[in-house]
């Protein structure tokens, strides 16, 4: 069994990265993936696997229209200069 994200899991992440707000409803995500030829029963399995790995957040609703899959916020690595500026602002009370 593979330990890395599979083709479908990588496709889910790619679609979410391109969507507004980095999120989609389950209904819209399912529709796009099924139109691309992925099997319906594999889509929720891939989303659950990504959720367990904390690569996506899954908010369950009463229906697929109310359920939302979203990516975490993008991580920005701060340089030493950025950290120094933040500390300087905190020290001056701004």
pLDDT band at 1 (very low <50, low <70, confident <90, very high): low
Q: What is the pLDDT of residue 70?
A: 94
pLDDT digit string (tens) for 21-66?
999 999 999 999 999 999 999 999 999 999 999 999 999 989 889 9
Instruction: For residue 84, tell me if it sits in a domain.
Output: yes
Number of domains in the chain: 1
Q: What 3-state class would DSSP assign to 74?
A: coil
Domain encompassing residue 74: 7-92
Instruction: For residue 1, tell me if it sits in a domain.
Output: no
Q: What is the pLDDT of residue 11?
A: 95
Instruction: For residue 31, tell me if it sits in a domain.
Output: yes
51, 60 Cβ separation under 8 angstroms:
no
pLDDT digit string (tens) for 57-83?
999 989 889 999 999 987 788 889 988
Q: What is the pLDDT of residue 75?
A: 75
Q: What is the pLDDT of residue 76?
A: 80
Sign of the four-CA dihedral 29, 30, 31, 34:
positive
68 forms bridges with which residues in the sheet? 25, 59
Instruction: For residue 42, tell me if it sits in a domain.
Output: yes
- CATH at residue 56: 1.10.10.10
The pLDDT of 85-92, averaged and rounded, is 87
């Amino acid at each position: 069994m593979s330990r890395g994200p599979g083709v479908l899991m990588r496709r889910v992440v790619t679609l979410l990265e391109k969507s507004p707000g980095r999120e989609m409803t389950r209904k819209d995500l399912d529709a796009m993936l099924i139109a691309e030829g992925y099997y319906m029963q594999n889509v929720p399995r891939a989303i659950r696997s990504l959720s367990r790995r904390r690569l996506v957040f899954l908010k369950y609703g009463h229906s697929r229209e109310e359920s939302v899959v979203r990516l975490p916020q993008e991580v920005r690595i701060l340089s030493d200069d950025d950290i120094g500026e933040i500390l300087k602002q905190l020290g001056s009370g701004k």
